[in-house]
Structure 1
């Protein structure tokens, strides 16, 4: 990576955690994403969820049709399957053979469209054994769902109750602890002992690097800063920023950009999710610059993700310029609108 105080050039990044939805809204989300990223891990929590290879292939076909309508031929969707209590070992082997990138673990009820997720991880052990055997990564939404556990503690409790036992039972299984939000998660991934090959990594979102939980309540309820896992205390944001900018290859970019129409967010029971696809790279650059670590951005954004997934690194270069960018107050989303992260504000870095 070459850079100056006003310009950064880096290998084109990938987004290792992305929601693009389906239907009319997909085209708008894809346009924002493909402007910045070469590839993206596509989340499977549609209605109904993408639980089989056949459903994933059909979803990929719809994505490719929208890319063609947009005239985009330089973006690759990396498909995933939604893990359930009933996922079979045969489906895992079929998924590997047909190029599915990973399986996604949603604890039932943990987040948007997760009601058909896993109720008890031990019900998935045959599928997990097959995943370990064929080298299929498991992507984890790391929160317990018990109402007895405070929402701000659910990630830390998940480490103790689910993730650590899971890794002991399947030491060869590659796991991505997605959108981590706590000091406990950052330190767990940083310090995890693995075998000869690294088997654990974590993605970090722009909102969790830039915001703490005060951002949800600044002058009133700020629904467009509400996501799951929820923003945490400042000490956790600082720990995440330290992890992301450390140069440790276990941490890489995953926006968890999650489009919800403005009306669905600004509602009596608003949806969880921040929309960062519009300006994600500028947001990440701002976070890295805040601790004078812009030289570490290329590893986090462009190198460590493909290395963990055993995929080739991209070769195309992109340029970010230190140039103020006004974030629109709203963007089109199908026949509705969406409010992007930092709407109405200015960010310091712009993709050339």
Structure 2
């Protein structure tokens, strides 16, 4: 018997589109299913000022294929030299919807990020005043901290002190990967949200390391123990307003993933909605998928939900492409490791 599920068109609250030829290749994969996306600013050079954001927005819209609709929600890259007044102007213009905090060296193209958090306190104060959210890559980079503990330590050492010092600051804990992250997000009230990625709902660290290194499962933050994946699934399928979808879909060419020092990131834009339907069905929570993918994110950012809808149909396994071709090289599409019976049909 055919099963269908119709929900408001989803949004992606954490998305990497890159630039140039890669942007042209991957943007249609997101715009096919998603209405909006919070666009990560870690380009080279990064999107630091309002003018940078305006120029990047124009390049995204120029790359959008004819007949497709997509609204890129722009984000500024926080540096120790960021001007609070420029941030306020960018927000007032309606163009910029958030500011992104990268601890320096934490992930791809993060070397321009923050080392001394006290230096960006004036930006936090301004953002709290104007209601502009701070998106946080929540990992410390101290050499003496185990990579699997970076998120938990960041919450204790960095995030909680920032939120205590700036209690009105709206914060999104991006791509949480641990039960620690789930528990802290739940404790934060209306000013704290958390995104969860598609791949962290599906893989644990065994997928990366058992039976040989699997570079296309390597991401940052790195996938953790199974108990943490289970906690993420429970949070995502709970329907709680705190948790919403941010795929962190991150395209890298295969040579850059499969090298001696492979890049971090999973490219999930193509098949995310099918993957999520499988995860939510397994958790007996298909009725909560709309909240996670389509409702909770807009509510946190103070935006209306999308007017249009998306319909998923369950049937024979869907054959997604293994790669997306770009002028820079092939990009491997995330393989969940199980058949995908749900497909987007309308």
Fold similarity call, TM over 0.5: yes
Aligned-partner SS, 1:149: coil
Residue by residue over 1:309-351, the C-alpha shift from the partner in whole angstroms, topping out at 9 and shown as x without a partner, is 0001111111111131123222212341011100786322111
Q: Is the 8 A contact 1:265 1:271 kept in 2?
A: yes
In structure 2, the residue matched to 1:136 is: 132
In structure 2, the residue matched to 1:269 is: 261
Q: Is 1:259 matched with 2:280?
A: no
> Would the alpha carbon gap of residues 165 and 343 (structure 1) be closer, same or farther in structure 2, given more than 3 Å must change?
closer
Structure 1, unaligned runs of 5 or more: none
Q: Is the 8 A contact 2:2 2:313 kept in 1?
A: no
Q: Is the 8 A contact 1:262 1:336 kept in 2?
A: yes
> Would the alpha carbon gap of residues 347 and 60 (structure 1) be closer, same or farther in structure 2, given more than 3 Å must change?
same
Q: Is 1:14 matched with 2:7?
A: no
Task: Report the Cα distance in structure 2 between the residues aligned to 1:150 and 1:349, rounded to whole angstroms.
Answer: 38
Task: Report the Cα distance in structure 1 between the residues aligned to 2:322 and 2:213, rounded to whole angstroms.
Answer: 17
Q: Is 1:29 matched with 2:26?
A: yes
Residue by residue over 1:175-229, the C-alpha shift from the partner in whole angstroms, topping out at 9 and shown as x without a partner, is 000000000000111122x4xxx10000000111111111102321100000000
The Cα shift of 1:269 comes to: 0.2
Q: Is the 8 A contact 1:328 1:344 kept in 2?
A: no
In structure 1, the residue matched to 2:239 is: 247
**Structural mapping, 1:96-135, within 5 Å:** 96-99=91-94, 100-135=96-131
In structure 1, the residue matched to 2:76 is: 81
Task: Report the Cα distance in structure 1 between the residues aligned to 2:203 and 2:337, rounded to whole angstroms.
Answer: 16
In structure 1, the residue matched to 2:184 is: 188
> Would the alpha carbon gap of residues 6 and 218 (structure 1) be closer, same or farther in structure 2, given more than 3 Å must change?
farther
Residue by residue over 1:35-86, the C-alpha shift from the partner in whole angstroms, topping out at 9 and shown as x without a partner, is 010000000000000000001000001011111xx11442100000000011
Task: Report the Cα distance in structure 2 between the residues aligned to 1:125 and 1:344, rounded to whole angstroms.
Answer: 44
**Residue number among 280, 292, 309 corresponding to 2:272 in the alignment:** 280
- Give the stretch that moved more between structures: 129-138 or 326-335: 326-335
Task: Report the Cα distance in structure 2 between the residues aligned to 1:217 and 1:289, rounded to whole angstroms.
Answer: 27
Query: RMSD between aligned alpha carbons?
Result: 1.3
Where in structure 1 do 4 or more consecutive aligned residues deviate above 3 Å? Answer: 343-346
Task: Report the Cα distance in structure 2 between the residues aligned to 1:348 and 1:73, rounded to whole angstroms.
Answer: 25
**Residue number among 182, 188, 199 corresponding to 2:191 in the alignment:** 199
Aligned-partner SS, 2:194: strand
Please, what TM-score do these two structures have when normalized by structure 1?
A: 0.95
- Give the stretch that moved more between structures: 339-348 or 257-266: 339-348
Aligned-partner SS, 1:74: coil
**Residue number among 43, 46, 51 corresponding to 2:40 in the alignment:** 43
Task: Report the Cα distance in structure 1 between the residues aligned to 2:287 and 2:81, rounded to whole angstroms.
Answer: 45
- Give the stretch that moved more between structures: 70-79 or 238-247: 70-79
In structure 2, the residue matched to 1:312 is: 304
Aligned-partner SS, 1:145: coil
Task: Report the Cα distance in structure 1 between the residues aligned to 2:57 and 2:67, rounded to whole angstroms.
Answer: 14
In structure 2, the residue matched to 1:174 is: 170
Q: Is 1:330 matched with 2:326?
A: no
May I ask how many residue pairs the two structures share in their alignment?
Answer: 343
Aligned-partner SS, 2:110: coil
